[in-house]
Amino acid sequence: MARRKEDNYFTTFVELVQFSCDAAALLNAIINDYKAEELETRMKEMHEIEHAGDQGRHAMVKKLAREFITPIEREDIIALGDAIDNVTDTIEDVLLRFYMFNITAMREDAVKMAAIIVQCCEALKQALAEFANFRKSQHLHQLIVEINRLEEEGDALFVNAMRNLFVNEKDPIQIMAWRETLEYMEKCCDACEQVSEVIESVMMKNS
């Protein structure tokens, strides 16, 4: 029975990152079939995903407060839950910027960055699915390396996107709007890498 309780935390991490994957998939779908007039409706869809993720994290913290024995240190459980939650929040922040800045047409660079955000989240989900076996896993390290590789690819896309923006866009309002929006898209990849860093930290503490 105690073993099943321990496993529940690792299961919860996978459940929480699924909200990140769902948010990334929704953002990708919106960007690839962009309709500015539908943004308010799509924002509600996104917020429902983000809110469900928050509820899952709150339930985990409530459970943690009642238990004496945990599979990894309490602060690591909290740190990992917070880091995963930040991924979902940051994805929602991208969509909010489309709305706040009244983005009416999509840029090809944003399409490319949305695709890498999806890949980062899916790689993170694979890593968290393997995390329960972190003491013996032969694959977890390689999954973390893949997340880092994807984050670096996201960085390269971001650099090219910013160059394209400043070279080709003449409207200063568009430059301002897209500069911040693209920065938030890059932050989504950074947020995934931050989760992988918490996983690595737990592995080092328990090796």
Separation between Cα atoms, residue 129 and residue 124, nearest integer Å: 9
47 has pLDDT over 70: yes
* Domains in the chain: boundaries: 2-205
Q: Which residue type does 70 have?
A: T
DSSP structure string for 141-175: HHHHHHHHHHHHHHHHHHHHHHHHHHHH---HHHH
125 has pLDDT over 80: yes
105 has pLDDT over 80: yes
Q: How far is CA 79 from the centre of its chain?
A: 14
Phi, psi of 137 (to 5 degrees): -60, 135
Q: Read off the pLDDT of each residue in 29-40 and give the average, rounded to a whole number.
A: 97
Q: What is the mean pLDDT of the chain?
A: 94
6 has pLDDT over 80: no
> At 107, is the pLDDT very low, low, confident or very high (cuts 50, 70, 90)?
very high
What pLDDT shows up at residue 8? Answer: 82
Percentage of residues in the chain having pLDDT higher than 70: 97
Q: Write the DSSP symbol of residue 37.
A: G
Locate 77 and state its tokens.
């459980």
What pLDDT shows up at residue 7? Answer: 54
Q: Where are the alpha helices (DSSP H) in the chain?
A: 2-32, 39-66, 74-100, 108-131, 140-168, 172-205
What pLDDT shows up at residue 138? Answer: 85
Find the radius of gyration of the CA atoms of the chain: 18
Q: How far is CA 86 from the centre of its chain?
A: 7
3 has pLDDT over 50: no
CATH 1.20.58.220 fits 2-205, yes or no: yes
What pLDDT shows up at residue 104? Answer: 96
- Encode pLDDT of 131-165 as tens digits: 999 888 889 999 999 999 999 999 999 999 999 99
Separation between Cα atoms, residue 127 and residue 132, nearest integer Å: 10
Percentage of residues in the chain having pLDDT higher than 90: 85
